[in-house]
């Protein structure tokens, strides 16, 4: 039986990299990890957004300007984080990009653009992170999937396909890497109260009512709801969990 941690939910001593960590769900994850004692490095394309987020997060937070579609830079970003903060123990692939339009109008360029962020970008970071984790004591890699990985949602075929690819990657990586100390899991968020949700969904009363009517908990989630789930999956408390997708969606995916 493994030695029990005094508080297996704490993340003290961990170093976490969160892509797309300056806003929304990524920032919610960063806040939860900081609250649990981790050192958090958020990445994204906009330095001003990242700086503002780090000011909000406090001294346990840092940032790196990084575009996940710059695949050749993935190893360097992880190396930079480790040089300053120590071995990486958790990676959250959260950066996202979506195209909303009828599937018959979807172009190859749009499809590939979504896959570059969600699949190729996440793969580049994950394989370099895992390689380092395997020789430094292990770690946890999380993919931010979506309810679109689990249920049909119209007009987001590229996004749904990319997020579904996450689930295949998670299972494959888990069976390859878990024996070497690297757990790999996914979270599938439902409707979350991000700035984008506020600017689009909430301005459409009919759509808001429809969403809530299909959500058994009858409310939108908050970014920190996803953050706490991610913090759990990265913690020692989840040491026997790998290769799974945890829906955090108010019950949307169970059918209602």
**Which of the residues are catalytic?**
159
Answer whether 80's CB lies under 8 Å from 66's CB: no
Residue 184, classed as helix, strand or coil, is: strand
Q: Annotate 199-255 with DSSP letters as a single string.
A: HTGGG-HHHHHHHHHT-TT-S-B-HHHHHHHHHHHHSGGGTT--S-EEEESTTGGG-
Q: Annotate 29-84 with DSSP letters as a single string.
A: HHHHHHHTT-EEEEEES-HHHHHHHHHHH-TTEEEEE--TT-GGGHHHHHHHHHHH
Residue 183, classed as helix, strand or coil, is: strand
Written as six digits, the tokens of 176 are 């390859």
Answer whether 226's CB lies under 8 Å from 23's CB: no
Name the residue among 183, 194, 160, 188 with its Cα closest to residue 233: 183
Name the residue among 144, 117, 153 with its Cα closest to residue 44: 117
- Strands 39-44 and 182-189 come out as unpaired
CA–CA separation, 210 vs 224, rounded Å?
23
């Amino acid at each position: 039986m493994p030695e029990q941690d005094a508080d297996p939910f704490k993340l003290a001593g961990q170093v976490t990299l969160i892509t797309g960590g300056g806003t929304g769900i990524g920032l919610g994850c960063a806040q939860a990890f900081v609250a649990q004692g981790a050192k958090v490095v958020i990445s994204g394309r906009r330095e001003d957004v990242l700086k503002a987020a780090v000011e909000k997060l406090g001294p346990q937070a840092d940032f790196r300007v990084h575009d996940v579609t710059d695949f050749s830079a993935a190893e360097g970003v992880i190396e930079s984080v480790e040089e300053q903060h120590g071995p990486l123990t958790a990676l959250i692939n959260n950066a996202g990009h979506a195209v909303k339009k009828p599937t018959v109008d979807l172009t190859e360029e749009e499809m590939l653009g979504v896959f570059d962020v969600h699949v190729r970008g996440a793969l580049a970071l994950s394989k370099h992170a895992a390689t380092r984790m395997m020789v430094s004591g292990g770690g946890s890699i999380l993919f931010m999937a979506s309810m679109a990985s689990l249920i049909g949602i119209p007009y987001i075929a590229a996004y749904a396909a990319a997020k579904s690819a996450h689930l295949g990657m998670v299972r494959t990586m888990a069976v390859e890497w878990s024996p070497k100390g690297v757990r790999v899991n996914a979270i599938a968020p439902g409707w979350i109260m991000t700035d984008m949700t506020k600017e689009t969904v909430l301005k459409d009363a009919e759509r808001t009512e429809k969403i809530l009517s299909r959500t058994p908990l009858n409310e939108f989630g908050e970014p920190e709801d996803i953050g706490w789930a991610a913090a759990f999956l990265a913690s020692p408390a989840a040491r026997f969990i790998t290769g799974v997708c945890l829906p955090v969606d108010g019950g949307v995916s169970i059918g209602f």
